Amino acid sequence: MTLPKDFIEKYQEILGAQAQEFLASFEQEPVSAFRTNPLKKAQKVFPESIPRVPWGHYGKISGKSADHVTGLVYSQEPAAQMVAQIAAPQKGMRVLDLAAAPGGKTTHLLSYLGNTGLLVSNEISKKRSKILVENVERFGAQNVLVTNESPQRLAKTFRDYFDLIVLDAPCSGEGMFRKDPDASRYWHKNYPAECASLQREILVEAMKMLVPGGRLVYSTCTWSPEENEMVVSWLLETYDTLDLIPIRKINGMVDGIGIPEVARMYPHLFKGEGQFIAHLQDGRQLSAKRNKIKSATSRLSQEQKRLWQDFSKDNLITEPSGTLQTFGDELYCLPAELPDVSKLRIARNGLHLGTFKKKRFEPSFALGLALTSDQVKRSVALTDQQFRSYVSGNPLALNVTYLNGWYQLLVDGNGVGFAKIVGSTIKNFFPKGLRF
């Protein structure tokens, strides 16, 4: 790989005797890894666990595999997995992933929350927010609001709201050069300082949304001190209630430059790509009487209520918890205790339950992914061959006749959506945009 001359000189100065080994690591293959999804009922044993990393494994996964399509696994390199592991939200928390696409950290945070509390997953880019929604839905979480907003507009709605904020900030991307060599072409010696200016702007808005006593995890996928330790120093100087929480160094992580409490990951020391992480605690006193947020009210018509209740009675053992709301003909279940989000651009308004169509209710693909097999009354297990045929858009012929109606389709025990069975035929309801 051809690295910029100024980049080489910069890290020769920063790393000294380690610079040669560091620069040589760019000629090695990037490290692939994935996480398993604890929200899924049917788990598997995978080889090559990452030491001291819950759910983490080395290796590649296929986007066309049943494990990927059902959301059992999520591809994420090892250094990136450290961010949510350090954040480690407790169940019931209100959490913000402020720059969330494509969804690796969001889905990892959801693993800790376990369908409790609330995660607001934000991505300012409309195009990237669509990818984020797709990954969140596949993961099967029910307690997520995906927004497509600027930090400034979010801060107006979520003032003093979140127990934990994770900002994996837009950065110069030095730690991704090995995965994406083209990224090195955009790098110049002033680029890290330019990125740092944006990072500080975002952090000003993030601090407005942090509840007194809350935690902030700041990370980048770069090694530049301008974007890392210098930004952390600025945070500590600007907000005198913030203190650093020391990060335990595992698997080759090292102390920050001049700030031992933060963590750096270099590819010649850590089996993964580049990452920087700082963990901060706000020292303000949290009021014993936390402000209560009035939950959104249901807007269903009487007919819509009846259609949903009929579907639920016939098909579900356990309903998703939250507030039912319609947006046009689409039915959603919103997480509890949301403030008024009507002025925000929403990419995923909670869990999409389905669509009202001509006096009937059709369950969504997302609902069939989110529910486990013990939460539905009727399911059908597909073979590997049937799965491959189904995801390519074909109806399936069964050897036996079933009662007509909706069934959750299962692959290796995990849901791959709902489908309607008529006699001995499974009609195809796999989304056209996802077929392969």
Annotated binding site for S-adenosyl-L-methionine, which residues? 99-105, 123, 168
Catalytic residue among 171, 195, 221, 333: 221
Binding-site residue set: 99-105, 123, 168
Full 3-state SS string of the chain: CCCCHHHHHHHHHHHHHHHHHHHHHHHCCCCCEEEECCCCCCCCCCCCECCCCCCEEECCCCCCCHHHHCCCEEECCHHHHHHHHHHCCCCCCEEEECCCCCCHHHHHHHHHHCCCCEEEEECCCHHHHHHHHHHHHHHCCCCEEEECCCHHHHHHHCCCCEEEEEEECCCCCHHHCCCCHHHHHHCCCCHHHHHHHHHHHHHHHHHHHEEEEEEEEEEECCCCCCCCHHHHHHHHHHCCCEEECCCCCCCCCEECCCCCCCEEECCCCCCCCCEEEEEEEECCCCCCCCCCCCCCCCCCCHHHHHHHHHHHHHHECCCCCCEEEEECCEEEEECCCCCCCCCCCEEEECEEEEEECCCCEEECHHHHHHCCHHHECCEEECCHHHHHHHCCCCCEECCCCCCCEEEEEEECCEEEEEEEEECCEECCCCCHHHCC
CA distances from 197 to 154, 230, 279 (A): 19, 11, 20
Q: Is the dihedral of CA 281, 283, 288, 292 positive or negative?
A: negative
- CB atoms under 10 Å from CB of 385, counted, come to 9
Q: Cα–Cα–Cα angle for 232, 235, 237, nearest 5°?
A: 110
> 25: buried, middle or exposed (CB in 10 Å: 19+, 13-18, 0-12)?
middle
221 is catalytic: yes
Q: Which residues are catalytic?
A: 221
